[in-house]
Amino acid sequence: MLLTVPSIKDGGNFRALSYEWGERKKEREIFTESGVLKIWGSLHKAILTLRGKQNAAVFWIDAICINQIDDSEKIQQIRLLPQIFQQASRTIAFLGSDRRSDDAIETLLQIRAKLDKSEEWPKELKKVPESWQHESKPRLEDPIWQDIKVLFDRTWFRRAWIVQEAVASLTVTFVCGKWIVDWEDIHLAMEIVQQKPHLPNDITASWAPFSTLSSLRELETRQRRFSLFTLLDKFHYMQSTLKRDHFFALLGLASDGDEDGFSPRYGSIPFVSIAVQYGETFVKQGKGAHLLRRAGIAGRSDTARTRFPSWLPDLTARPRDRLLDLHDRGIIFNASKGVKEDINTSKGVRGDIFGRDFLEVNGCIFDDIIEVSKTSNGQGPKQWVKYFAEIDDMINALHSESLPEYRHDLKVQVPIAGALSLGELSIEDSYTAFRQSLKKARFKSAKQLNLRTSRAPISKTSSSIQTGVMTMQEKGRQYEELLKTNIAGWRFITTKRKHCGIAPNGVRVGDVISVIGGCDVPFVMRGSRKFMEFRLIAGCYVHGMMKGEASKFPDVNETYFLID
């Protein structure tokens, strides 16, 4: 069923409406030839805003054109959604209205208009303020950037079903407050905005969803598409009423979205069953190693630990911090080098009894954890004092017969996962300055030391820029930043083979360390060697085992084991 509302005439058979669903607080009624329809407040507001007094236009609206209480119809329509938006004369993206968003769009249109130097300035657009009249965009300190952040923070840009609506549509027009503006105009303005000098991260992060959608729109015009797995990674921030809609909302744009294993399912089927169905399909596609890189029960809620297989990450959520995101530190991991990649789904030896879903993997179980630090890698000097004191004791006890230089290298490298690069400053110098600061922290508060505990970028003070010499605190902060990025909260571990490493919180004495073919980092596992069934705890860093060394031990052989 199509809804007809009075509006401005437009070419084509119909328009599609894309809007924020918003909170379902109050139902409203609209009257049609077929009877009374009940809709939610956000849609009601969109219809009232878009309807005109003179002409009529035909709109396709998901909440009306799809019977939302008929699961079989919803499943059928999901596959048709991309075609619907491709065939629409245009998609109207209704963002609602507020003063700050109005001001933000006005500024973006001013930036866009300045690009067309030969064109006459649009009559309906105010002249550029004097503060940036001779610039391509407002200055960094201009408060308008906060309004632009408010605009891009609107939930429309983060709604799961928006993705295919925005990407598949040939023409998208924003309706926000007093403005009606095409996607391409905002896109061109944002290309200028993203040029140097760059704005603070909290502001630039707000328009990351818009930028991602814009890049996909360009690829769509070239008939290039990503796999569903890649799309889920790109759009991990999406929001939806049902978690399963994270999967379903992307099917129409995925290059492999028509595979049988990706069939959408609603009704009483629990989300975990759908997640496993999709996970097993990814494994059959050869993406088992990609799943494992994000998997593990470390950091999961108790409910997720018991209900979800440990090999299956939550693909509807932001990926947790991973070692593989640390390539900019100057090191590339390849722990399973020389180990055959063979990852398949299996019901396991006892799967028929317990009904569990396993992965059967080829790899090597090469070590056991014998000690775990009581203190974790914290976010401040107080905890770091205890953490590094434990590290010193654990390394000294483990390698009491080794040269002091070797023990020192372990103390420097292992806590930061083997990082090799700090730019102009050597890691050795930064570590030395950091440890000196921790010595002072025994007697002074963090406030007195001015040790930073935020994730803000490192910058030199004006004095150090002028002299070209970094202070001890500045040097130490470089090492501190390495501790904060991706491995915050991790614990120091030692193993039976006298290796040192770090692993996410939740690791225990007695856990085993393995490498799995196709995976770049080792894994901590917990389970039964008798049945060769394990739960995956998390990926970890083991010093000296990150480049394929495990497979070279004479007493370590490749074998198949199960991960549930």
* Token code pair at residue 107: 């500024």
The better pLDDT of the pair 208, 468 is held by 208
**β-strands 358-376, 512-516: how paired?**
antiparallel
In the predicted model, is pLDDT for residue 48 greater than 60? Answer: yes
Half-sphere exposure in the Cβ direction for 371 (13 Å, CA): 17
CB distance 55 to 8 below 8 Å: yes
Range ranked top by mean pLDDT from 148-157, 453-462, 467-476 = 148-157
| Dist. CA 461–CA 311, nearest whole Å | 46
**β-strands 91-96, 15-19: how paired?**
parallel
Q: What is the pLDDT of residue 64?
A: 87
Q: Compute the chain's Rg from CA coordinates.
A: 28
**Backbone φ, ψ for residue 216 (5° rounding):** -70, -35
In the predicted model, is pLDDT for residue 460 greater than 50? Answer: no
Q: What is the pLDDT of residue 452?
A: 41
List the single range of 140-149, 257-266, 456-465 with lowest mean pLDDT.
Answer: 456-465
443 confidence band (pLDDT: 50, 70, 90): low
Q: What is the pLDDT of residue 285?
A: 97
467 confidence band (pLDDT: 50, 70, 90): very low
Q: What is the pLDDT of residue 29?
A: 81
Does an H or E element contain 129, and which?
Answer: none
Q: What is the pLDDT of residue 305?
A: 67
Q: What is the pLDDT of residue 17?
A: 96
**Backbone φ, ψ for residue 271 (5° rounding):** -60, -35
- Dump pLDDT digits (tens) for 245-289: 999 999 999 999 999 999 999 988 999 999 999 999 999 999 999
- Dump pLDDT digits (tens) for 313-348: 999 888 766 676 665 566 789 999 999 999 999 865
DSSP state of 468: S
CA distance to 323, 417, 418, per residue, from 332 (Å) = 10, 11, 10
| Dist. CA 20–CA 156, nearest whole Å | 5
> What's the predicted TM-score (pTM) here?
0.86
The better pLDDT of the pair 245, 419 is held by 245
* Token code pair at residue 284: 């059959």
In the predicted model, is pLDDT for residue 405 greater than 60? Answer: yes
In the predicted model, is pLDDT for residue 464 greater than 50? Answer: no
451 confidence band (pLDDT: 50, 70, 90): very low
387 confidence band (pLDDT: 50, 70, 90): very high
Q: What is the pLDDT of residue 351?
A: 46
Q: What is the pLDDT of residue 469?
A: 66
- Where exactly are the structural domains of the chain? 3-219, 228-319, 325-367+513-563, 375-488
In the predicted model, is pLDDT for residue 463 greater than 50? Answer: no
Q: What is the pLDDT of residue 525?
A: 98
In the predicted model, is pLDDT for residue 350 greater than 90? Answer: no
Q: What is the pLDDT of residue 329?
A: 62
Mean pLDDT of the chain: 87
The stretch 41-70 carries a mean pLDDT of 83
453 confidence band (pLDDT: 50, 70, 90): very low
- Dump pLDDT digits (tens) for 468-512: 467 888 899 989 988 988 899 999 999 999 999 999 999 999 999
Q: What is the dihedral of CA 468, 469, 470, 471, to 10 degrees?
A: -140
229 confidence band (pLDDT: 50, 70, 90): very high
The better pLDDT of the pair 235, 470 is held by 235
Above pLDDT 70, what percent of the chain? 88
